[in-house]
Structure 1
């Protein structure tokens, strides 16, 4: 089942893009809302267009990473599916928690958990993937930036 790398890649890519779409819907136009624009934001907050470009690139590379990682196990491991699903839920739910519900502390907790999980992927599977680990590094870097932005808002508002 799902032994073709192109099919597996397509499934991961569609699932990742679906996370972006659902996350955007759950934001409820949050980045343009009066609530968000009135917050004291970090001086290093990138322009809005950067977020879309970064996320699309990250999810595309993450689909490659997950495809490669999934073939490192004898079968599509339940362990890997659970980790991937947890990443997906944390990623999507942060949008709703932060932008829709304005729960900055809960958003910070959620994004820290997501950062830790992406860090776990990066470190834990390095021996299996070696150079392919570079595919997840943009995700970890972006999560570091996003976490710092959320933390800045929490501590300065």
Structure 2
């Protein structure tokens, strides 16, 4: 029962973070600035982002629900809060402020933190850690897209 409650809490927090990030983008992907950028040929169509982030946050919430039942330390709360801030702030940094280099630094830190979850914080979660794979894969793709824009614009 504890895991279900925690998972529900993380669903609210994670989807709340997506909503905040979306609001902070200031119409990011639909702006002339973004649409006129030289983008990588592997940039997915716009609808993929919504599907990907919905799936990622469901998986991540399930993972966190399990993780926090096994080990509820202030370190986990701190790591989650840093992840939350990095995830939300990338939208603002990249789309709203158009700071592509700082966006790249932000997304590299976020990616590193999710890999840290997988390799260091998941020892007691057995197969639940594999719920992080969609997040890890997506962040690698997003990082490459951010880097491409930095280099080619």
Question: Does 1:9 pair with 2:3?
Answer: no
TM-superposed CA distance for 1:130, in Å, is 2.3
Unaligned runs of 5+ in 2: none
Give the match for residue 83 of structure 1: 79
| CA distance in 1: counterparts of 2:75 and 2:130, whole angstroms | 22
- Matched residue pairs, number? 153
The alignment's TM-score, normalised by the length of structure 1, stands at 0.95
User: Which runs of at least 4 in structure 1 moved beyond 4 Å after TM superposition?
Assistant: none
The alignment's TM-score, normalised by the length of structure 2, stands at 0.97
Question: Does 1:136 pair with 2:132?
Answer: yes
Give the match for residue 62 of structure 1: 60
* 8 Å Cα contact 2:67-2:122 kept in structure 1: no
Q: Give the secondary-structure state (helix, strand or coil) at the position aligned to 1:127.
A: coil
Out of 99, 102, 125, the position equivalent to 2:98 is 102
Question: Structure 1, residues 103-133: CA drift from partner, whole Å, max 9, x if none?
Answer: 0000000000000000100111342222111
* TM alignment of 1:5-84, pairs within 5 A: 5-73=3-71, 76-84=72-80
* 8 Å Cα contact 2:2-2:69 kept in structure 1: no
Out of 119, 122, 125, the position equivalent to 2:118 is 122
* 8 Å Cα contact 2:22-2:91 kept in structure 1: yes
Out of 119, 132, 142, the position equivalent to 1:146 is 142
Q: Give the secondary-structure state (helix, strand or coil) at the position aligned to 2:39.
A: coil
Q: Give the secondary-structure state (helix, strand or coil) at the position aligned to 1:86.
A: helix
| CA distance in 2: counterparts of 1:44 and 1:5, whole angstroms | 37
| CA distance in 2: counterparts of 1:60 and 1:15, whole angstroms | 11
Shift in CA distance, 4/129, structure 1 to aligned 2, threshold 3 Å: closer
